[in-house]
């Protein structure tokens, strides 16, 4: 299905703005600037919407309202303003770890998240077989990505969907408890599955990158950063529940392999339980940066200065999500170098210019 509407939809972001975006973000990735990048998300509905939960969705019929989805977001682009280092981007959000659905997992979505459930009978041979081009979820991810690129061209950076992390995807296919048991009693079998899934992951990444490369220059993913080359926010949320020894055995080798294949790479360090693995992550020469998410119930990112400084002292870039007061605290106390700060929730729009003036005064 092809999108049938072509129009200008980012009146508040000009070609000169795109030139500035590419210049400033490229300098940040290459450590050629001492200032922090600062991004605002002024669109609540974009942040919480999940495509499988979109009105008009009907998995049983095989129909998907591609144009309805694009029209919905085009309306937002037509009235959006961009401040700091924000830029027009659209994250095609089918849920974290959607590769599990490509391989047969069940999908359940509501307004807050997407869950993937193990199939009744998992055919593990799929990990070593060619990809199924007719898988329902893979078809719609490809189609929606292609339609967005076709409609919005170079005006909007289209993010590939959230492919997920290897162990997280395997846990979705096997069931978390059963998979944790597998780690303990069937280590060689798990290692083989992880390596097979890494090749699967890379294949899906490349296929989607071929589509997004036809649009705006550079790339982005679910994390709100623009990048001058191929880029992804790698992750392994299941690592919260495993020891450093298991992380070194099951996670680190394939993370290293993907970092070497990507032009630029980050790791999504989610929760204080993953801090046990931070030194190993920082030892990865080709890993460019770490996103620190303290996790629900923990102090916010600005309350972890030792973690942020540890990341930067290792020569890595760092990205966090904080409120306006947290953003100012970080740049005031630690300095702005090598940071990207996502200000969420943002200040009121009328207050953003004053906030930016104060934020940049700490440079």
- For residue 11, what pLDDT is reported? 74
- For residue 113, what pLDDT is reported? 85
Q: CA–CA separation, 132 vs 138, rounded Å?
A: 8
- For residue 53, what pLDDT is reported? 77
Percent of the chain with pLDDT over 70: 94
- For residue 237, what pLDDT is reported? 95
What does pLDDT average to over the chain?
Answer: 91
Per DSSP, the residues of 96-154 read TTTHHHHTT-EEEE-SS-EEEE--SS--GGGGGSPP-TT-HHHHHHHHHHHHHHHHHTT
- For residue 233, what pLDDT is reported? 97
- For residue 4, what pLDDT is reported? 45
Provide the pLDDT confidence category of residue 44 given band limits of 50, 70 and 90. Answer: low
DSSP letter, residue 161: P
Q: What is the pLDDT of residues 209-267, one digit of tens each?
A: 999 999 988 999 999 899 999 999 999 999 999 999 999 999 999 999 999 999 999 99
120 is written with which tokens?
């009744």
pLDDT at 180 over 90: yes
- For residue 119, what pLDDT is reported? 93
pLDDT at 341 over 60: yes
Tell me how many helices (H) and strands (E) the chain has: 14, 10
- For residue 60, what pLDDT is reported? 67
Least confident stretch, 47-51, 178-182, 256-260: 47-51
Radius of gyration of the chain (CA): 20
Q: What is the pLDDT of residues 101-134, one digit of tens each?
A: 999 999 998 877 899 999 988 989 999 998 888 8
Residue with tokens 């490349």: 206
Least confident stretch, 70-74, 244-248, 313-317, 333-337: 70-74
pLDDT at 74 over 90: no
Q: What is the pLDDT of residues 276-318, one digit of tens each?
A: 999 999 999 999 999 999 998 999 999 999 999 999 999 999 9
Q: Which domains does the chain have, with CATH numbers?
A: 35-360 (3.20.20.210)
pLDDT at 159 over 90: yes
Region 184-197: mean pLDDT is 95
Can you list the pairs that 192-196 forms with residues at least 24 positions away whose Cβ atoms lie under 8 Å?
193/124, 193/127, 194/166, 194/167, 194/170, 194/250, 194/254, 195/254, 196/127, 196/128
pLDDT at 45 over 50: no
pLDDT at 67 over 80: yes
pLDDT at 137 over 60: yes
- For residue 59, what pLDDT is reported? 66
């Amino acid at each position: 299905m092809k999108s049938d509407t072509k129009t200008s939809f980012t009146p508040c972001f000009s070609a000169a703005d795109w030139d500035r975006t590419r210049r400033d973000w490229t300098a940040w990735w290459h450590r050629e600037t001492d200032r922090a990048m600062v991004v605002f998300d002024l669109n609540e509905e974009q942040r919480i919407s999940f495509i499988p939960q979109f009105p008009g969705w009907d998995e049983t019929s095989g129909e998907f309202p591609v144009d309805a989805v694009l029209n919905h977001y085009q309306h937002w682009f037509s009235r959006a303003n961009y401040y700091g280092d924000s830029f027009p981007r659209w994250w095609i959000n089918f849920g974290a770890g959607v590769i599990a659905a490509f391989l047969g997992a069940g999908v359940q979505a509501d307004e807050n998240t997407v869950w993937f459930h193990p199939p009744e009978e998992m055919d593990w041979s799929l990990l070593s077989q060619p990809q199924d081009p007719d898988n329902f979820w893979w078809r719609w991810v490809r189609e929606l990505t292609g339609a967005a690129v076709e409609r919005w061209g170079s005006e909007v950076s289209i993010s590939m969907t959230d492919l997920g992390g290897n162990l997280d995807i395997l846990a979705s296919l096997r069931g978390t408890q059963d998979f944790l048991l597998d780690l303990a009693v069937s280590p060689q079998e798990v290692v083989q599955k992880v390596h097979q899934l890494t090749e699967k992951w890379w294949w899906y990444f490349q296929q989607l990158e071929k589509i997004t490369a036809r649009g705006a220059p550079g790339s982005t993913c679910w994390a709100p950063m623009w990048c001058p080359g191929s880029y992804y926010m790698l992750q392994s949320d299941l690592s919260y529940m495993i020891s450093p020894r298991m992380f070194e055995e099951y996670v680190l080798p394939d993370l290293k392999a993907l970092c070497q294949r990507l032009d630029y790479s980050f790791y999504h360090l989610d929760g204080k339980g993953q801090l046990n693995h931070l030194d190993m992550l920082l030892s990865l020469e080709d890993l460019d940066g770490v996103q620190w998410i303290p996790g629900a119930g923990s102090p916010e990112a600005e309350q972890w200065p030792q973690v942020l400084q540890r990341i930067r002292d290792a020569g890595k870039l760092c990205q966090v999500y904080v409120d306006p007061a947290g953003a100012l605290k970080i740049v005031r106390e630690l300095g702005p170098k090598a940071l990207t700060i996502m200000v969420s929730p943002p200040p009121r729009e009328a207050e953003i210019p004053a906030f930016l003036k104060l934020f940049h005064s700490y440079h």
